[in-house]
Structure 1
């Protein structure tokens, strides 16, 4: 029986980033309730950014706690939740003809509407669920998604172009890299069941695992019966 990725840690090298315009996001705040994949798809004007990024950093959430010292209780202190804060998300990718990130930056600093973006970062297993003979590339659904994070109502905080150096030579280390830092109102790790299409796949895999487990238990039970009969 194959071991499916949801039962063990996976490598950090296979991931996908998707961003979309948050509908009615000019004001931020309460409009964050609209920043879902479903509402974005329903908006014909939504602009999607679908990326192959080199790296993603900043999927961090921090809690600010208030400390209270209760009178007469000198051997301990009480802590209460105050608010959550989130790190800047840093996305890095190689420079190509694609200018979508710079277009967003330009729209924010010059446009009347300060368009915010929400997004999803999906980490997938490097192993494939199936193989197609003779096909060198990967097809959608080949890799099983293991974890997903969403960020809401983000604005670009910094957009850095590549460091150009004619002495770097060739190779992976000489790739021109651009980096986007964005600040989101909220970062969450979400259930895979909330990602369109993944819930059905998860159900199928769970069913296969359940059937295999049931067969294994049945085999073990039959073996135990045979051994008991032998005695």
Structure 2
């Protein structure tokens, strides 16, 4: 079977990377891998206009677009970069960052990117603690973003 007509396989949900960059900085904001990433979501409001004299028909037009919050979870370490970002954003609400969620293939090659602009942290949750547990301490951050765009990876282009 020629390569161009090969059947595409779905992406794997566990092969991803998250890159968060503050404006003017050369190194990424977060230095740890995330275990969970959820909230890559766009919703378009639909407005319905009913036409006078046509009770069996309605016109549907596109309305405002809204975005979900991105939720990131990771095992807590001695790297407190997310806590610093949240503290800095409270001190100066104008601070923003851009983020990219990269989908990776089984071989680690880049397959696609979700680009999030003008991100700001809106929720930071410390791990649930219990003296009876042996589970990893998981911290969680929610990030609001203004736009979400999709870019096919080098292999898919």
TM-score tier after normalising by the smaller chain length: 0.7 to 0.9
Partner of 2:148: 187
Match for residue 44 of structure 2?
63
Post-superposition CA distance 1:63-85 (Å, at most 9, x none): 01111001111112111111100
The structure with the greater share of residues assigned to strand is 2
Q: What are the Cα deviations for residues 88-125 of structure 1, in whole angstroms up to 9, with x where unaligned?
A: 100000001111100000001124x6311111101112
Q: CA separation in 1, counterparts of 2:111 and 2:54? A: 46
Q: Tell me how far 1:47 sits from its aligned partner.
A: 4.8
Counterparts of 2:56 and 2:94 in 1: how far apart (Å)? Answer: 51
Aligned pairs, number: 154
Distance of aligned partners of 1:76 and 1:149 in 2 relative to their CA distance in 1, 3 Å threshold = same
Detail structure 1 runs of 4+ shifted over 3 Å in the superposition.
3-6
Structure 1: 5+ residue runs without aligned partners?
23-42, 129-142, 193-197, 207-231
Does 2:87 align with 1:106? yes
| C-alpha RMSD over aligned residues | 2.4
Answer 1 or 2: which has greater helix percent. Answer: 1
Tell me the residue number matched to 2:19: 18
TM-score by length of 1: 0.61
CA distance in 2 between partners of 1:58 and 1:51 (Å) = 19
- In the alignment, the residues of structure 2 paired with residue 179 and residue 149 of structure 1 have an alpha-carbon distance, to the nearest angstrom, of 20
Bigger Rg over Cα = 1
TM-score in terms of structure 2 length: 0.88
For structure 2, the residue ranges without an aligned partner over 5 or more in a row are: none
The answer to which structure, 1 or 2, has the higher relative contact order (CA under 8 A, 6+ apart) is 2
Distance in 2, matches of 1:21 and 1:47, equals: 8
